Every structure is written in C-alpha cells, then in structure tokens.
Amino acid sequence: MPPNLRDKWGSKETWLRALYLRANLIWIFRQELVRLELDQLHWLGAILDDAYLTITTQANRHADNDEGFDACLEWVRNNIEQRIEMAPEDPELHRLLQLTEEAHPSDVIQEIFDKLAGSAQTIYRSGPRRKVRLLREWLNTHPVGSVRPGDFRDPYHVDALTNVRQQLSEIELRVHLDDFDAWSLLAIPALLTHELVCHAYASEDRDNQQSIWAEGVMDWTAVFFFEKWSRLLKLPGAIVKSRGDDLWVRRMAPTRYTGRVIADTLVDWLAAEPTIQSLDVAQVAAANFTLEVNGAVAPLWAKDALASRIATIWSDKPLQEAFRAWRTGAAPAAAMLS
C-alpha cells in the first residue's frame, strides 16, 4: 500500500509546516524566477533543491512556522555564503544573499488566494454571496499520475477542487509536496482562478467534470480574467501567466476544449453585431454573460443545453434575438435557460 500522510510526515501539522516553508523559500527568490525560467542562473536551482531536502527532514523539529522559517533562512544563508567562498565575485550569489537579508515569513499561498478571491468576488454582481475558504490537502503522488516512476505528465505537482456547502465554498488546494517547487507554486494562481470563477459562485444542482458549461465555457471565462489577475500578484506576472497557460494546455480535456470553442464562437458572433463591432467589447460581453448564467439558479443540464445552442448561434435566430434582448437589458441571461 502507498504511504498515507501520517506514514510520510508524522502529522498534518508537520506537512503544512513543510509546505509553508517551501513556499516561503521560493517567495524569497521570486525576483530571480524569470532568470531561472530563462535558464540564466547557475546556482539558484541547486540551492533550492538542497533547501527542499533540508525542509523535508527538519520540518517536524520546529515548534511553529516562524521558528521553522528562521532555521531555514539561516541554513540557506550559510549555503550561499559557502558558495561565495568558492566564487567570491559571482554576482548571482551576491544577489541571492541580499534577498535573504530582506526576507520575512508570510503565508504565501493564503496571500495569493486572498488576492484572487477578492477579485472574483467583485466580478459576480449577481448570484450567491458565498464566503470562500482555502484548504490545503496532501497528495501522495502527482495529481495526474506519471508515465513511469519519476516521469510525470507535467511539472505541476498541484491540483484543486471546490466543495460548495450552502453559503460557503471551500477550495481545496491539493499538493504533492515531495516535488513541489517554483513551477508548482507559479501554477497555483491559474488553478485557483479556475475554481473561483467556475465553481465558487456557481448555482447548480450538481458537480460534473464532463459539463461543457462548468468545465468548458466557464474555463474560458477563468482564462479571460486570469490574463488580468496574473499581473496583480507579488510574483513575476510574465511567468505566472506562462506557467498558468502551460498548465491549462497540458491538462486540456475534451470537455474543456469544447466549452472554450463554444465561448469563442459567442465572442465571434458578438463581435459581428452592429452594436459591438469590437473584439475587446465582445470578449467583455461574453464574460459578463457567462458570469450571470453561472450565478443563476438552474440545473446544470440546462446550462449545458444552452452551451450546446451557443455552438450554433450563427444559425439560431431565436437565440440571437435572446442575446440582443439581454444586451439591451430587456431580459436577463437566465431567461435563456428556460
């Protein structure tokens, strides 16, 4: 049998502390992540790998997160200083050492979530006014498995899902901590954006991973807002966006692809309307429409049926008139669900 959390880490508290410390370690060097992405650094990758191992073996020795952070930071500084002794003129090492001098502990993942959750709340003008809460849960292996041991299908050791309980949406971030690294952290904003936009404020009678509405059309909307929100975090926006886009491509399921094509079909039709005639305005209109429908109380099958109709909007005259009525305020988006 594969090990469970207690076998691997001893306790959930120790696992959470190790996750907290890994995320903080990456956060310290966030200004260098663009260079790391572009393969322009010699030292940082090895320093991070060594520190991950140290965190794994020592997380249970600390009384709390602050004590663990101080111990980890001291170890990293010593590691960098030892390397400087071997390469005293190396500018990368001196930059890294300076970043450790400016470091302070924070709940990095919670801060990312809070920023995105605040943005999601502002876009849902209608629909349920739920509270949202982040949970962090353990994964024994990569969320989408591996081709063979150690050969994973993508480099992102994280996944997420949402559980809706009346007026509370709990977003569960699932982490395979053994291989959680900078790229996994940078993929978290895309995962959380999908959950917040697609599921946290949805009003439906069930969950269905095969829904072209919930997992497809709304995923298009999540990407639309991710383009904007990825620049608002205290991380390098360029690689947050790049890694988020890569995560979406690598985990593109047929349902998601179908729904995205349907949403783009709506954008194309809206852009051709005489009252719009602009791609940017059409995208905004499509996003607003999907949010209104997502928050409307209706069975999921009705939203999937609407998505299927939108796929043929160019030939569906009644649907075209319904959209024109919605655009002028004469009818709500939910009227198309009946």
Which pTM does this prediction carry?
0.95
Cα 62 from Cα 148, distance rounded (Å): 35
The tokens for 171 are: 């977003």
Contacts of 105 (CB under 8 A, 6+ apart): 24, 65, 66, 69
Cα 49 from Cα 141, distance rounded (Å): 18
Cα 132 from Cα 295, distance rounded (Å): 15
Residue 317: per-residue pLDDT: 98
CA distances to 85, 146, 157, 219, 241 from 154, in Å: 37, 8, 8, 19, 16
Residue 145: per-residue pLDDT: 84
Contacts of 218 (CB under 8 A, 6+ apart): 197, 198, 199, 202, 259, 290, 294
Strand partners, 173: 136, 160
Q: What is the pLDDT along the chain (338 residues), one digit of tens a residue?
A: 677 888 888 899 999 999 999 999 999 999 999 999 999 999 999 999 999 999 998 888 988 999 999 999 999 999 999 999 999 999 999 999 999 999 999 999 999 999 999 999 999 977 678 899 999 999 999 999 887 877 898 999 999 999 998 889 999 999 999 999 999 999 999 999 999 999 999 998 777 889 999 999 999 999 999 999 999 999 999 999 999 999 999 999 999 999 999 999 999 999 999 999 899 999 999 999 999 999 999 999 999 999 999 999 999 999 999 999 999 999 999 999 98
Residue 152's CB is within 10 A of a number of other CB atoms, namely 18
The tokens for 180 are: 């959680």
Ordered by start, the domain boundaries in the chain are 5-101, 107-338
Length of the chain: 338
